[in-house]
Homo-oligomer: A and B are copies of this chain.
Amino acid sequence: MVTNVDKNLVIGIDIGGTGTKIGLVDARGEILARDEGIATTAYSTFDGFVDAMSEVIERLLTATDSHGKVRGIGVGAPDSNYYTGNIEHAFNLPWKGVLPLADMLSKRCNIPVYVTNDANAAAIGEMTYGTAKGMKNFIVITLGTGVGSGIVINGQVVYGNDGFAGELGHVTMVRGDNGRLCGCGRRGCLEAYCSATGVARTAKEIIEQMNEPGLLSNIKNITARDVYNAAMNGDKTALEIFNFTGNMLGEAIADFIAFSSPQAIILFGGLTRAGDLLLEPIKKSVDKNVLHTYKGKVQILISQLKDSDAAILGASALAWE
C-alpha cells in the first residue's frame, strides 16, 4: 500500500498564453522529467487541452516509473483562483468564461490539483526551493510581458477575500490623463511602465526626448532585449531607460513596503536578466522614497531559480503545501 509518506514527488504545470510546460519534481526542486511540447493555442476546447495535459502526465509517470508517487499537481495559470481551482475569464487564453481546471484535471489523473496565478506560484517556488527559503514575509514581483506579484505574509500566500489578491502590476503610478493606457483598460498602471513591453514603450519615449545618436537609434520595434544589449555596451540612452524603469519600480516598492513591511522584495522574470542595470536604480529609488521607519531594513533581491525551470518549480511547489 502506498501512503502519503511515499508520495515524494509533485508535478508542476505552467500554463502560458502560448505554451504549456509540465515537469515532474522532487522535494529538492530537481526536475526529474519534463515536457514543454503543449501549444496552448492548439486546442479549440478546454476539454481537449485538459486531455492533452493528462496524456503528458501519464507519459512522464510511465517514463520515470512514478505512478502512485505523486502527492499533487500544482498549476500556475493566468486569472486562476486558488480557492475555487477555476481559471476565470482569462484574457490571454483561448477559452472564455469560468474553466474548472482543478476539478477536471484531478478527475483525469486521480491526483489532487491546486491552482494559482503564476506570480503566486513564483512566490511559493521561492519559499520552497529559492531565495526566500526560511522567509515569512516577502513579496515576489514578476517582471515579464506583464507585472505581477505574489505576496507572502506570516509564511502564507495572500489570496484575499476572493482569491485574486496581489495585483501589484495595477497600482497607479501616474495619475490622470497623462498615465499610459494599460492592457487592463485603466491608465498609469505600474505594468504599463515596468513590464518588458512597458520598457519598450519607455524606450520609444526616451529616444525621442534625448534625440541622441546611439545604438538604439535605428532599431524599429525596439524590445526590452535591444535596450539591454545597448545598455551592456554603455549606450547612454539605454542606461537612461533602465534608470527610468528602476526609479519607478523603486517608488512602487517603497509603497508596497509601507503595506506589509517585508523582509525582502524578490524580483523574478525575464526583465531581471538585466541584473544590476535594473537592480541598482531600484535600490537607489527605494532608499530615496521609503518611509524612514523601513529604511535599510528590506532586501531587494533577484530570484536565483533557473529561468527555464522557475515557472514549473513555482507551480510544483503549490502541491507540497
Task: Write the A205-243 contact mask toward B (1 if CB under 8 angstroms, else 0).
Answer: 000000000000000000000000000000000000000
Q: A256 to chain B: which residues have CB within 8 Å?
A: 259
Give the residue name and chain of the B residue nearest to A138 (CB): B161
A177 beta carbon closer than 8 Å to chain B: no
Q: Chain B CB within 10 Å — which of A174, A258, A297 has the most? A: A258
Offer 20 A-B interface pairs, CB within 8 angstroms, sorted by A.
A153-B160, A154-B156, A154-B158, A158-B259, A159-B261, A161-B263, A162-B294, A165-B259, A166-B258, A166-B261, A167-B293, A168-B258, A171-B258, A171-B259, A174-B175, A184-B291, A186-B289, A186-B291, A255-B255, A256-B259
Q: A126 to chain B: which residues have CB within 8 Å?
A: none
Which A residues from 164 to 209 make CB contacts under 8 A with B? Answer: 164-168, 170-175, 184-186
Pick the residue among B153, B164, B255 that contacts A158 (CB under 8 A): B153
Indicate if the CB atoms of B156 and A291 lie closer than 8 Å.
Answer: no
Q: A292 to chain B: which residues have CB within 8 Å?
A: 184-185
A282 beta carbon closer than 8 Å to chain B: no
Indicate if the CB atoms of B186 and A260 lie closer than 8 Å.
Answer: no
A191 to chain B, nearest CB (A): 11
A14 beta carbon closer than 8 Å to chain B: no
A164 to chain B, nearest CB (A): 5
Closest CB pairs A-B (n = 10): A160-B261, A165-B261, A161-B263, A171-B255, A167-B258, A137-B161, A170-B291, A164-B293, A165-B260, A170-B258
- A164-B294, A167-B293 known; 8 other A-B pairs, CB under 8 Å? A137-B160, A158-B259, A160-B262, A164-B261, A165-B259, A170-B258, A172-B254, A173-B175
A222 to chain B, nearest CB (A): 26
Task: Write the A281-292 contact mask toward B (1 if CB under 8 angstroms, else 0).
Answer: 000000001011
Q: A154 to chain B: which residues have CB within 8 Å?
A: 154, 156, 158
Q: A261 to chain B: which residues have CB within 8 Å?
A: 158-166
A251 beta carbon closer than 8 Å to chain B: yes
Q: A168 to chain B: which residues have CB within 8 Å?
A: 258-259
Indicate if the CB atoms of A161 and B136 lie closer than 8 Å.
Answer: yes
Give the residue name and chain of the B residue nearest to A258 (CB): B167
Indicate if the CB atoms of B175 and A251 lie closer than 8 Å.
Answer: yes
Give the residue name and chain of the B residue nearest to A169 (CB): B258
Give the residue name and chain of the B residue nearest to A171 (CB): B255
A249 beta carbon closer than 8 Å to chain B: no
